[in-house]
Amino acid sequence: MNTPRNIMLRLPGLWLLPLLLVGCTSTLEPVTKIGDLAPGEIMVVGRIELVPRLQPEEQQVSFLGDTDSIKNKVFVGVDRKFVLIDGENTDITSVESVIRATFGETFHVKKDREALHIPYVMFYSKYTVAGRLVTQHRVFFPARLQVDFQPGDRAVYIGTFRYHRNEYFDITKSELIDDFAKEEAAYRKKFGSKVPLVKRLPRPLDRKGNSVKAG
């Protein structure tokens, strides 16, 4: 009944720290120009879509602070190693980093060249603070993916993750869409052609972290 996704906390001053929403993990920095990329860093390009789209009325966000950090935002967990996040374990504080993306918009973030695991994709359908009472409800989407970088990669496209949902925010279907041609054109317009964008679609993993064989 009190599932880990439906949490109420009584903590002093938590409204001051919206970053705690995704635990003590670091947020991958956005890239706005190629010069933002340091040697040894890779730009990760992708997009998360929700079908039907999330409407503002469906998300309850209320606290003293930057509510735009939650509204229409989706959080993509990123780690160098495999971490199992599922219905029984939703402790996302064990995941190293997070991409804070906007639903339906392409993100461009930078990370190191280590392996890229995606243990979870999640958003807050509710995050309210009244006094010292924090009420949150998180919706987790199917993920458990791994992206394999190749030597020489500087900018990689990992695909569009399209999640279909119902009125309860149950995910009824999830798709990995290859929009490379469109995204590559937009990338070149924004960042130029000095650093080419390459396609590295993720592969799904099982609960033990092994590749799921097709078919």
Partner 1 sequence: MISLSKALLVLLLLGALSFSSCTYVGGSREKLEPKIGRDSTEKGSLVFGYIDMKDAQPDLEWILLNRVEVGKEATSYPLRVKDGIFFLENLPQGSYFLSEFGGRATNFFSAGALIVFRPYFYRVGVDAKEHRFKIESPGVYYLGTWKFKVVKGGFFERDKFDLDSAKEPGQKALVVSLLEVAKGTPWESKLRNYQKSLK
Residues that bind partner 1 (CB under 8 A): 1-3, 5-6, 8, 52-53, 55, 57-58, 125, 137, 165-169
Contact 183, 45 (CB under 8 A): yes
Determine if residue 88 is left, alpha or beta; phi over 0 gives left, psi from -120 to 50 gives alpha, anything else beta: alpha
Closest approach, Cβ 38 to partner 1, in A, equals: 41
Closest approach, Cβ 58 to partner 1, in A, equals: 7
Question: Given the complex with partner 1, which of 3 and 32 has the nearer CB atom?
Answer: 3
Question: Given the complex with partner 1, which of 150 and 167 has the nearer CB atom?
Answer: 167
Question: Given the complex with partner 1, which of 157 and 163 has the nearer CB atom?
Answer: 163
Contact 200, 150 (CB under 8 A): yes
Distance CA 110, CA 113 (A): 9
Alpha carbon 71 to chain centroid distance? 14
Question: Given the complex with partner 1, which of 73 and 137 has the nearer CB atom?
Answer: 137
Closest approach, Cβ 7 to partner 1, in A, equals: 10
Tokens 């279909």 locate to 164
H or E element: which one contains 100? strand 97-102
Closest approach, Cβ 165 to partner 1, in A, equals: 8
